[in-house]
Amino acid sequence: MRTIILSLLLSLSASLALPGAANAQSFYEFAVEVALDELGEPDPAAPLRTMSMLYIDVPKPKEFMVHDLVTLIISETSSAESKQTLNTKKEYDLTTDVGPFPDLAQLLGLRLEPGARSNLASLGIINDQELKSKGTAKRSDRFIARITAEIIDIKPNGNLVLEARKTVASQNGESKTIVL
């Protein structure tokens, strides 16, 4: 047993001592083959596609042309809220004293002479008013529409220039035109 271990150690040391016997390579010297797709371009996802059951290819972007139709969904929401408080207090005191009335018998004879004064000719009014009010108003509007637009130009950076027009008739005879 001792001889077997000794012979293994000697063969290992001999293989390490000889310069031509080394078989190690650098990672930078490995040639990695990248699969090519049908257009001849590198396809780094090819090994994953062949091994995985869950792999899904990334869809290619849609290429648009002038006069293609695009459906747009417009969703606009707006809301407004208003609160108001009003406190009002009004007080007034009105006292009136009416001078002596002409005597009715003298008045019938077309003579204007003051008659006897009584307490019935005095008048007084006292008023006290207080008003408190609060008001709240809420409004919420939502507009959703689908409109088909035509591509009229494609800019060099890929932006699309669209044109759309849609007229919607309501039940009360009015019509709304959406221009985009």
Rounded distance between C-alpha atoms, residue 86 and residue 134, angstroms: 6
Q: What is the DSSP letter of 158?
A: S
Residue 12 φ/ψ, nearest 5 degrees: -70, -45
Q: Are 101 and 123 in contact (CB under 8 A)?
A: no
**Which run of H or of E encompasses 60?**
none
Total-model pTM: 0.39
Place of tokens 């800019």: 155
Residue 4 maps to a domain: no
Residue 45 maps to a domain: no
Number of domains in the chain: 1
Residue 159 maps to a domain: yes
Residue 50 maps to a domain: no
Which positions of the chain have pLDDT values less than 70? 1-32, 97-107, 109-123
pLDDT, residue 68, reads 94
Please say whether the dihedral angle defined by the alpha carbons of residues 107, 109, 111 and 113, taken in this order, is positive or negative. Answer: negative
CA atoms within 13 A on the CB side of 81: 0
pLDDT, residue 66, reads 94
Residue 52 maps to a domain: no
pLDDT, residue 69, reads 94
User: What range does the domain containing 134 cover?
Assistant: 69-179
pLDDT, residue 161, reads 95
Q: Are 55 and 48 in contact (CB under 8 A)?
A: yes
Residue 137 maps to a domain: yes
Residue 16 maps to a domain: no
Residue 118 maps to a domain: yes
Rounded distance between C-alpha atoms, residue 156 and residue 167, angstroms: 32
pLDDT, residue 21, reads 47
